[in-house]
Amino acid sequence: MFTSRWSVVFLLFRLFSSVNSSPVPIYTPAPTHPLQISPPTPSPTILPSLPTSSPLSTPPPSPHFSSDPGESAKSVLCPLTVSPSILVVRFKDPVKVNCSVPAMSFSALGWEVSLAKPELTTEHFLVWSVDSMTDWSVKPACFALVEQGGQCQLDLSLIVYKPPDNVSISVDNHTGSMIEGRQYTLLCTVYNVAPVENVTVTFYKEQTPLGQVQSSNTTKTPVTEIFSWNICPKKEDDGVRYWCEAKLELGPEGPQNPPVAISQNLSARVHFGPQFACPTRMWIREGESLGCEVGGNPPPLVIWYKDGEVVDLPSHSNLTHAGKYTVWAEGFLGKKNFTMEVEVLPGSGTANSFNRHFLFGVLLIQTTYWL
């Protein structure tokens, strides 16, 4: 056991001396990179001097690598613990993670971070910290040299995130008013967010959610992504507001209140053809007015006919106004007509009140049907 221990110590000595024949290539320093995250300078480690009688002809056993956190946590050969085990950090925020090993036979404990020089200690714990996280693809790993089993490694699960700069909503390839019954595509653009695969976009009509969309883009750096949702507006949707919400969902390890960005409101203008709210048969008394509601968006041109001639509806009827009336309405989306039979009763009474109640019932039935 003594011989094996000093063999490992000599391995560290050869590592620090940058000998090309080192059997542990993971310690080889990487070239400097602009986005390199430099760990804090470790405390000087005093290693015992080598005995002159130690045999140096036989190299130590080949390292044993383990990158599965579950396997590493359960393996006797790799008793490493990283706290926190999953780290979610906002871009440019500080980072601090502790790696520890129980009191057992090991030669060194260290952190290796991509594009950075490994840092070592002979203590039972080692903290990796960064003042400002500016690397989107960093992959930290804690490792230990164990006398029985070589090297073991535990990777840190790290997510670097950035909330979106802005969110906007628009209609794909369309401006102006919509037409009832046609399909349109709402576009929700989320600007400069990372990681975009953690973004959930919800489309709304007023306060009613229409649906949610997620991205399959696995890019870790900030990107601008467009999410879509199809709608088929009705005439009742004229004037409603559409909007979208982007939520960056980072799991239980992320912020308690996930970052949310909301778009502006998109007011819909829906065009629809002529609509009639008239009974097929109407009773009025002498002196009452004759009327029928005709709607549309934009408002249609309305012409009334009686016995084939253009007429104006009477505001003060008499018995001669009885007969069959036809209304023609021409709007942006075409023409429609409707015919009703009018009977004028002699004298005054409640016919007009009856018709008003009848018209209200017709309007209520048609409104229920439209909805």
Which tens digits make up the pLDDT trace of 271-301? 999 999 889 999 999 999 888 889 999 999 9
Do both 155 and 9 map to the same domain?
yes
Do both 73 and 190 map to the same domain?
no
Instruction: Read off the pLDDT band of 176 (50, 70, 90).
Output: very high
Residues whose CB falls within 8 Å of the CB of residue 175, separated by 6 or more in sequence, listed in order: none
Question: How far apart are alpha carbons 24 and 144 in whole angstroms?
Answer: 12
Instruction: Read off the pLDDT band of 14 (50, 70, 90).
Output: very low
Strand 81-83 versus strand 157-161 pairing type: unpaired
- Region of poorest pLDDT, from 33-37, 181-185, 297-301, 313-317: 33-37
104-125: average pLDDT: 80
Residue 79 has pLDDT above 90, yes or no: no
Do both 261 and 282 map to the same domain?
no
- What pLDDT shows up at residue 94? 95
Q: What is the DSSP string of 280-347?
A: SEEEEETT-----EEEEESPPEEEEEETTEEEPPPSS--GGG-EEEEEEEEETTEEEEEEEEEEEESS
Residue 57 has pLDDT above 70, yes or no: no
Do both 221 and 132 map to the same domain?
no
Residue 270 has pLDDT above 50, yes or no: yes
Q: What is the pTM of this model?
A: 0.67
Domain boundary among 126, 160, 194: 160
Average pLDDT over the chain, rounded to whole?
78
Residues whose CB falls within 8 Å of the CB of residue 207, separated by 6 or more in sequence, listed in order: none
Do both 155 and 6 map to the same domain?
yes
Domain boundary among 268, 288, 314: 268
Do both 245 and 302 map to the same domain?
no
Q: State residue 6 phi and psi, 5-degree precision.
A: -70, -25
121-132: average pLDDT: 90
Q: What angle do CA 315, 321, 325 make, to 5 degrees?
A: 95
- What pLDDT shows up at residue 26? 35
Which residues in 85-107 are b (16+ Cβ under 10 Å) and which e? eebbbbbeeebebebbbeeeebb
Question: How far apart are alpha carbons 123 and 109 in whole angstroms?
Answer: 7
- The amino acid at 33: H
- What pLDDT shows up at residue 363? 53
Number of domains in the chain: 3
Do both 124 and 47 map to the same domain?
yes
Q: What is the DSSP letter of 217?
A: -
Residue 2's CB: how many other CB atoms inside 10 A? 8
Q: What is the DSSP letter of 352?
A: H
Q: What angle do CA 175, 180, 181 make, to 5 degrees?
A: 110
Contact 174, 208 (CB under 8 A): no
CA R_g for the chain: 39
Question: Where does 221-285 show beta strands of DSSP type E?
Answer: 223-231, 241-248, 260-262, 266-267, 270-277, 281-285
- What pLDDT shows up at residue 185? 98
Q: Which of 17-31, 73-87, 138-152, 163-177 has the highest mean pLDDT?
A: 163-177
Question: How far apart are alpha carbons 7 and 78 in whole angstroms?
Answer: 20
Which CATH number do you get for residue 345? 2.60.40.10
Size of the chain, expressed as the number of residues it contains: 371
Do both 142 and 170 map to the same domain?
no
Residue 62 has pLDDT above 60, yes or no: no
Q: Is 177 exposed, middle or buried (0-12, 13-18, 19+ CB in 10 A)?
A: middle
- What pLDDT shows up at residue 108? 86
Residue 362 has pLDDT above 60, yes or no: no
198 token code pair = 């953690």
Q: What angle do CA 321, 324, 329 make, to 5 degrees?
A: 105
Do both 235 and 330 map to the same domain?
no
Domain boundary among 112, 129, 160: 160
| First-residue to last-residue Cα distance in the chain | 85
Q: Which domain holds residue 9?
A: 2-160
Do both 171 and 192 map to the same domain?
yes
165 token code pair = 């700069």
Instruction: Read off the pLDDT band of 370 (50, 70, 90).
Output: low
173 vs 74, residue with greater confidence: 173
Residue 107 has pLDDT above 70, yes or no: yes
* Cis peptide upstream of residue 299 (ω within 30 degrees of 0): no
Do both 258 and 283 map to the same domain?
no
- Region of poorest pLDDT, from 81-90, 201-210, 331-340: 331-340
- The amino acid at 137: S
Question: How far apart are alpha carbons 32 and 10 in whole angstroms?
Answer: 27
7-30: average pLDDT: 36
77 vs 152, residue with greater confidence: 152
Q: Is 336 exposed, middle or buried (0-12, 13-18, 19+ CB in 10 A)?
A: middle
Do both 144 and 198 map to the same domain?
no
Could you tell me where the DSSP H helices lie in 100-150?
A: none
